[in-house]
Structure 1
Amino acid sequence: MWYSYISIGHDGENAVLARVTTDAASPWFAGHFPEDPILPGIAQINMVTETIARVLKKNLSLQSVARIKFKKLVRPGDILDIHAMAGKKENHYSFSITSMEEDVCSGRLVLAPKKEQ
């Protein structure tokens, strides 16, 4: 895996919480960009999706995104805090990623159960 969990869980209500660190050897960094590595936005959204699925113990995939805002670059080894809150509709989540209390990324996700093949 290209990131590691430092902690992961939920708050007993509707929130998913995790602290992760990114692996400098990740192919995401090698391809984006070799001389100035940053974590692409799609990788951040994928990390949130996988974290929600893991905490909820569901096989979920990303269906759609809305109101995504990227505010800070993520570098190899950065520690990120993920906070995702269930919305009023099933499988709808609002989320934020922060690093050292600075906003990194936020938005809304709609997840769907993965179809069996």
Structure 2
Amino acid sequence: MFADSLYTRSSLKVADSVLIAEIELNPAHPLYAGHFPDAPVLPGVVQLQILKEILEGHFGRKLLLKEMRTCKFLRIINPFETSGLVIEAKMKETDSLEVVASVSHADMVYLKAQVSYTFCSNA
């Protein structure tokens, strides 16, 4: 949905059930013209969608949001001031995918969330 237009993934590493992805935002994306002109902000729902897309790319399967236990948007992401972001997702697979995630840049944390996803069938 947003991969390769709103953002590009520059790296992806997974070790000990922790996924770390580095992405670069595209500040020229048309989304920012409406959100907001002269003061662009990456919408929170889009941050959550990027997290989901990164996870789907890793697993090679579509995910469906099952439950969001917590979600805190701690700072505004202006793509002209902060274009590089690190997405960290601690994952636990059971009958669903349990994720504790954060979005950050350097020592600034922008998002913290605890989310559960179900894997969609490939049929």
Q: Which category of TM-score, normalised to the shorter sequence, fits these structures?
A: 0.7 to 0.9
What TM-score, normalized to structure 2? 0.83
Letter in 2 for 1:23: N
Residue pairs, 1:1-117, within 5 angstroms: 1-11=5-15, 13-77=16-80, 78-87=83-92, 89=94, 90-114=96-120
Q: 1:61 to 1:25 in 2, by over 3 A?
A: farther
The amino acid that maps onto 1:94 is V
Q: CA deviation at 1:25?
A: 2.1
Q: How many residues align?
A: 116
What RMSD, in angstroms, separates the aligned Cα atoms of the two structures? 1.8
Contact 2:102–2:111 under 8 Å retained in 1: yes
Q: Residue deviations 1:8-46, cap 9 Å, x none?
A: 1312x2111100011112233122101200100000011
Alignment CA distance shift 1:61-1:27 (3 Å) = farther
Shift of 1:88: 6.5
**Paired-residue identity, %:** 22
> Where does structure 2 lack aligned partners over 5 or more consecutive residues?
none
| TM-score, reference length from structure 1 | 0.87
Residue 105 of structure 1 and its aligned partner are, at CA, apart by 0.3
* Moved beyond 4 Å, runs of 4+: none
